Amino acid sequence: MKIIGEKINGTRKLVAKAIAERDVAFIQNLAKKQVEGGASWLDVNAGTHPDREADDLVWLIGLVQEVTDVPLCLDSANPAALRVAMQHVKKTPMINSISGEQSRLRDILPIVAENGCEVIALCMDDKGIPATTETRIEVIRQVFEETRRAGVPDDKVFVDPLVMTIATNTEAGRTTFDTMRAIRAQFPQTHISCGLSNVSFGLPVRGLINRTFLVLALDAGMDTAIIDPNDRELQAAMRATDLLLGRDKHCLGYTRAYRAGLLENKA
Amino acid sequence: MKIIGEKINGTRKLVAKAIAERDVAFIQNLAKKQVEGGASWLDVNAGTHPDREADDLVWLIGLVQEVTDVPLCLDSANPAALRVAMQHVKKTPMINSISGEQSRLRDILPIVAENGCEVIALCMDDKGIPATTETRIEVIRQVFEETRRAGVPDDKVFVDPLVMTIATNTEAGRTTFDTMRAIRAQFPQTHISCGLSNVSFGLPVRGLINRTFLVLALDAGMDTAIIDPNDRELQAAMRATDLLLGRDKHCLGYTRAYRAGLLENKA
């Protein structure tokens, strides 16, 4: 499994403060720690007003690239800000995100196609997030029609089936896992990605639900997760799952993580 | 998921000592604690020499039945001891176990059939444990031919696909999960059971591997596990998995377990 480090996100309070105050050390520390934790991409979300977003994104990109070579995942729904940001990245970034929404397909997919980017594609359209596996697959089939027409190969697409809050719908997990299995079967070249934090909203001991979700999602075909790479319990669950699913030859990944002190809970 | 409490097992050192010294309190405490932890059956294994086994089993059965109404799972390969034990149980017990081994089918299956017992059926025969999913399914198909011929309905059979040690074979987990999925598809009425302790043998942080195995096995169709019901981390993993797989209506099992203090790690 590969990790998109989620922490440089201006919708989080401390990050918003660091952006407002131009706190270089705070942002660069977040970048370095996530790379040490094994992130393959760093999500960068300014989370600011559209008027300021391009400037803030460029500032964040510059800082992060000073301390790491890991490619970025530019997280914005603002095509103007994305086009400015594209001028400042050293490596081709991932774009977060397109979906079946017409505005995203019209304004963001061309940026992906022109620049040869990888892209996260959310299973939703202008009517919202479909309730069933079948309707989510129908939406993602339409998205693939558009990405293929635009010349984006399936293996640059990271489908996010989306997971709803299980506290309000106990079928939410099952729907997401079933959607992952269907995507894996119908689009074998694509990647499958997911964020974890919605699923446990409103329930106690959220970390337990999140890491159990991660195990089940990996089993259902997810190969990339948008998480905090410094969450030791998620890392441990990921290593154990790779081990048990036969994806860790000679148990090397597991035993190395153990020797690096990553598997034991130090609360 | 249902639990067969594994702890009253004379192959464990402290239990062997308690049996040898006729330590009533030790055994009854193990029984009570496992029932409090949610065990639906209590495994009872004397683990002693065939000459003593019937006497020890009868002693254990008497003690356990003094403190709980939960049915027993009589764990012995000795048909003489099992026949004696059958005279002393208050409720129809589960028998642990038959397999494709000719001696078990000849000597133990009739006890199961005559008494209307539930029975654990191991995916192995006189040649040992088959290496592949296909060959394990072939063995279990032969076992079902025998159980059906003996008049034991499929829903009284708890198939244990067996899991090998992942340290010596990284395909061990995958083989077990694939076997579970094939059993679930081909014998929809049967139960699927498994013990956890072999899988992690020889590796560090065994609890992490065991609870991750539990999550993946539940996803693959396991409905019964032979575990320590007082292992809080296994219980927590089980509750979170039931929740995420849509098997916990209104999240009631999860939130009740939380209120009972069962979900948080208190190391």
The pLDDT of residue B101 is 98
The tens digit of pLDDT for each residue in A165-176 reads 999 999 999 999
Nearest chain A alpha carbon to B173: A244
**CA-based nearest residue in chain A for residue B163:** A244
**Span A194-205, average pLDDT:** 92
- What DSSP line would sit under A135-184, residue for residue? HHHHHHHHHHHHHHHTT--GGGEEEE-----TTT-TTHHHHHHHHHHHHH
Beta bridge partners of B158: B120, B191
Among A108, A84, A80, residue whose Cα is nearest residue A95: A108
Contact B251 A167 (CB under 8 A): yes
Q: How far apart are CA A28 and CA A33, in angstroms?
A: 9
Bridge partners (DSSP) of residue B74 are B44, B95
Q: What ipTM was assigned to the predicted interfaces of this complex?
A: 0.92
Mean pLDDT of A11-37: 97
Which residues of A are less than 8 Å from B171 in CB distance?
246
Quote the CA–CA distance of B245 and A209 in Å, as a whole number: 11
Average pLDDT of span A229-254: 94
Half-sphere exposure of A106 (CA within 13 A, CB side): 5
The amino acid at residue A1 is M
Residues of chain B with pLDDT under 70: 265-267
Q: Check A216 against B241: CB less than 8 A apart.
A: yes
**A216: closest CA of chain B, how far (Å):** 7
> Cβ of A158: how many Cβ atoms within 10 Å?
27
CB A120 within 8 Å of CB A95: yes
Is the pLDDT confidence value at A267 over 50? no
In sequence order, what DSSP letters do the residues of B188-235 get, joined into one string? TTSEEEEE-TTTTTTSSSHHHHHHHHHHHHHHHT--EEEE-TT-HHHH
What one-character-per-residue DSSP string does chain A give?
-EEEEEEEETTSHHHHHHHHTT-HHHHHHHHHHHHHTTEEEEEEE--S-HHHHHHHHHHHHHHHHHH--SPEEEE-S-HHHHHHHHTT-SSPPEEEEEES-HHHHHHTHHHHHHHT-EEEEES-BTTBS-SSHHHHHHHHHHHHHHHHHTT--GGGEEEE-----TTT-TTHHHHHHHHHHHHHHH-TTSEEEEE-TTTTTTSSSHHHHHHHHHHHHHHHT--EEEE-TT-HHHHHHHHHHHHHTT-SGGGHHHHHHHHTT-SS---
The dihedrals phi and psi of A131, each to the nearest 5 degrees, come to -75, -35
Cα distances (angstroms) measured from residue B82 to each of A7, B1, B166, B206, B230: 60, 27, 33, 33, 27
A205 contacts in B (CB within 8 Å)? Answer: 236, 258, 263-264
Bridge partners, A158 (sequence order):
A120, A191
Categorise residue B203: left if φ over 0, alpha if ψ from -120 to 50, beta otherwise.
Answer: beta
Q: Using CB atoms, pick whichever of B204, B237, B263 lies closest to residue A258.
A: B204
B123 contacts chain A (CB < 8 A): no
Structure token digits, residue B221? 């169709």
Check CB contact under 8 Å for A241 and B216: yes
**A173 touching chain B per CB within 8 A:** yes
Sign (positive or negative) of CA dihedral B244, B249, B251, B254: negative
Instruction: Write the residue in A199, A205, A212 that is nearest to B215 by C-beta.
Output: A212
- Could you tell me which of A181, A174, A187 has the C-alpha nearest to residue A213? A174
pLDDT of amino acid B265: 64
CA A255 to chain centre: 27
- Prediction pTM value: 0.93
pLDDT, mean of residues A26-55: 96
Tokens standing for B83? 């026949």
The verdict on a CB contact (< 8 Å) between B204 and A245 is: no
Residue A98 β-bridge partners: A121
Q: In which band, very low, low, confident or very high, does the pLDDT at A266 lie, cut at 50, 70 and 90?
A: low
- Whole-angstrom distance, CA of residue A91 vs CA of residue B195: 49
Say yes or no to pLDDT of A82 above 60. yes
What is the least distance, in Å, from the CA of A254 to any CA of chain B?
9
Look at residues B55, B99, B94 and name the one whose alpha carbon lies nearest to residue B75: B94
* Measured CA angle at A244 (ends A37, B73), to 5 deg: 135
Residue among B174, B209, B246 whose CB faces A171 most closely: B246
* Chain B neighbors of A258, CB-CB under 8 A: 204-205
DSSP B87: T
Token pair for A140: 């993602």
Closest CA to B116 of B157, B88, B70: B157
Rounded to the nearest angstrom, the minimum Cα separation between A140 and chain B is 23
For B82, residues 6+ apart whose C-beta sits below 8 A from its C-beta are B74, B76, B95, B108, B111
Torsion of CA B84, B89, B94, B99, to 10 degrees: 0
Asked if the C-beta of A264 comes within 8 angstroms of chain B's C-beta atoms, the answer is: yes
Please indicate whether, in this complex, the C-beta atoms of A216 and B166 are within 8 angstroms of each other: no
